[in-house]
Structure 1
Amino acid sequence: MTPYALTIDAGARELRAADRLLHALAARLALPEDVYGCTHLVRGDRPRVAVSLACASEPLLRTARERLTADGHQVTPGVPDAYGRAVLYPGAAALTGTVTVAELLDRSAIDRVAVLGSARAPDADARLVTRGHVRPQWQSGELVLTAMPASGGVLVPFEVPDPTPCCADH
């Protein structure tokens, strides 16, 4: 991850709300594509989802901090943990439709793809149907996308774009 980071705790209760917040902040602050925006689960007395922004430029981060603070956001330096789920990252916008694993790794900041239930990496020419929702996670300093096999011999990201809430049919 990049060396300059800050965390915004807006009290989001779910990942989708935190995703929307990150996209809104990126637009409001006119952030460049090389900025990382991640979600972080905060446990404890008040479980919630915090978001972080990380970039290679200290002046950009300082400006973002000043604007966010002026807008009333609670901003702290650094990231809450090393396991952020990336929503904004270099190349994220290029990951639409169906891409090969090699294209995904070439077009984005994702370092590797891990397939559930498999000890080995997928073939470079394996097809991945993105569903327009690719959320890799930081693992040991690498941005890793977890994927799973799907019908038709393709892979899909493990995280679905529109999950069914627990007990939706009750």
Structure 2
Amino acid sequence: MTPPGPPYAIGIDTRATTLREADHLLQALAAELALPESVFGCTHLVRDGRPRVALSLAADAEPVLRTARDRLTAQGYDVLGGAPDAVGRAVLYPGAAGLTGTLTLAELLARSAIDGVTVLGTPDEPSPDTRLVTREHVRPQWRDGRLVLTAMPAAGGTLVPFEDPDPTPCCADH
């Protein structure tokens, strides 16, 4: 299934079992393949007999992905036509590298491919002048054809992305 956004996509079956591992793999592959900033790179949870995290790359130009497909296949990855599903969690997207520090939501939307922000527990859209503390970890998801960041309230009237960049493993203190 091809996600919204760029018209060309490939899926990459990986052996990654965590989002963190998949994020690192996606970023390493993007650097190794010298992918342009316009490429979208997403993670997708696969829940079949072998739970894992698959990847997708999407671009406006098919030759970019053809080269990526050839190189990834040569490295032993199973590369499929299209993304695994339409609800990918974006790690690579236009403007992602510039989303550091604290930004207003208006700046976040103007600087990146993110289309909107939702806040947990509130039905209304946040004000464009609301500040977001990025924690250098902004992972929006495709929802109904839009790239949407889920945020949550934080100290001082700010927001932070819902996904924690350094989550505590379950049962870490046992």
TM-score normalised by the shorter chain: which range applies?
Answer: over 0.9
Q: Residues 37-71 of structure 1: CA distance to partner in whole angstroms, max 9, x if unpaired?
A: 00000001111000000000011111110111111
Q: 1:17 aligns with which of 6, 13, 21?
A: 21
Letter of the structure 2 residue corresponding to residue 39 of structure 1: T
- Report what 2:132 is aligned to: 128
Match of 1:143 among 144, 147, 163: 147
The within-5 A match list for 1:78-117 is 78-117=82-121
d(CA) in 1 for partners of 2:63, 2:36:
13
Structure 2 counterpart of 1:29, one-letter code:
L
Percent of residue pairs bearing the same amino acid type: 71
Unaligned residue ranges in structure 2 (runs of 5+)? none
Aligned-partner Cα distance in 2 for 1:48–1:58? 27
The residue that corresponds to 1:72 in the other structure is 76
**Post-superposition shift, 1:73?**
1.0
Distance 1:162 1:13 in 2: 16
Corresponding letter in the other structure for 1:101: L
Residue 152 in structure 1 maps to residue 156 in structure 2: yes
Gaps of 5+ in 1: none
Partner of 1:167: 171
In the aligned structure 2, how far is the partner of 1:81 from the partner of 1:147? Answer: 23
Question: RMSD between aligned alpha carbons?
Answer: 0.5
User: 1:16-37 CA deviation, whole Å, 9 max, x = no partner?
Assistant: 0000011001000000000000
How many residues are matched?
170
SS of alignment partner, residue 65 of structure 1: helix
